[in-house]
């Protein structure tokens, strides 16, 4: 985080060593530069430091921190997830798939506005084919992202379901497992997914997660999900 000289504001800076992630850095810069939405951090600029071979992406600073390690009541989760869905509807309409939705990538302002703050794994959909590359955090990844060569924007919806669980339980129940173990658990997901719901008593949450944790073809889009009756229940 940096304080902008001459102005009473802070900016967030992300440094990436180019020999590790120049393609990722360029992709994030390109996507951030083309989006302007209340639920996406504002792109302020980028800079390549030839001396250190670092690529820097600068965005607006979100002082409220992230949603990681937050344990919330259902009513609060509903408000936050509705905002995330509004952001996803916008991104998906721009043919952008976020690909790495998790609490630590969702920032919140002091007045409660949620913003996507890291689009390093995001990509633009080629409308002539499904996406073929993989880039995400294992315990939030959809089955199609893990096991098939094709996925689309609905992979974000699966990850959103995992975020709902993360917010209700303060951390993802699988977070301490090694990636290889998570792959096995996802392969046997009919057996392991029910364990994620332990301790969740709300039938409304169980219902919406039941709609999310299904095969890609049957999974609702962000626009369909935002109209779910869960969001209208007081």
Query: What SS3 string covers the chain?
Result: CEECCCCCCEEEEEEEEHHHHHHHHHHHHHHHHHCCCCCECCEEEEEEECCCCEEEEEEECCCCCECCCCCCCHHHHHHHHHHHHHHHHHHHHCCEECCCCCHHHEEECCCCCEEECCCCCCEECCCCCCECCCCCCHHHCCHHHHHCCCECCCHHHHHHHHHHHHHHHCCCCCCCCCHHHHHHHHHCHHHHHHHHCCCCCCHHHHHHHHHHCCCHHHCCCHHHHHCCHHHHCC
Residue 100 appears among annotated catalytic residues: yes
Catalytic one among 49, 100, 126, 149?
A: 100
Report the catalytic residues.
Answer: 100
């Amino acid at each position: 985080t940096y304080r902008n000289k001459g102005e009473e504001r802070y900016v967030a800076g992300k440094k990436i060593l180019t020999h590790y992630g120049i393609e990722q850095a360029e992709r994030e810069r390109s996507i951030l530069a083309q989006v302007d939405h209340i639920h996406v951090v504002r792109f302020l600029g980028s800079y390549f430091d030839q001396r250190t071979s670092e690529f820097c992406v600068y965005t607006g600073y979100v002082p409220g921190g992230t949603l990681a390690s937050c344990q919330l009541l259902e009513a609060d989760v509903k408000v936050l997830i509705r905002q995330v869905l509004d952001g996803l509807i916008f991104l998906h309409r721009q043919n952008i798939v976020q690909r790495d939705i998790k609490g630590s990538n969702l920032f919140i302002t002091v007045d409660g506005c949620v913003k996507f703050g890291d689009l390093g794994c995001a990509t633009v959909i080629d409308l002539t084919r499904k996406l073929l590359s993989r880039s995400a955090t294992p315990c939030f990844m959809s089955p199609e992202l893990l096991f098939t060569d094709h996925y689309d924007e609905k992979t974000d919806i699966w990850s959103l379901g995992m975020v709902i669980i993360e917010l209700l339980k303060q951390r993802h129940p699988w977070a301490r497992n090694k990636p290889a173990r998570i792959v096995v658990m996802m392969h046997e997901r009919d057996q392991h997914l029910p364990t994620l719901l332990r301790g969740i008593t709300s039938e409304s949450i169980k219902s919406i997660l039941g709609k999310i944790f299904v095969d890609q073809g049957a999974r609702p889009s962000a626009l369909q999900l935002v109209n779910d009756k869960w969001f209208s229940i007081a």
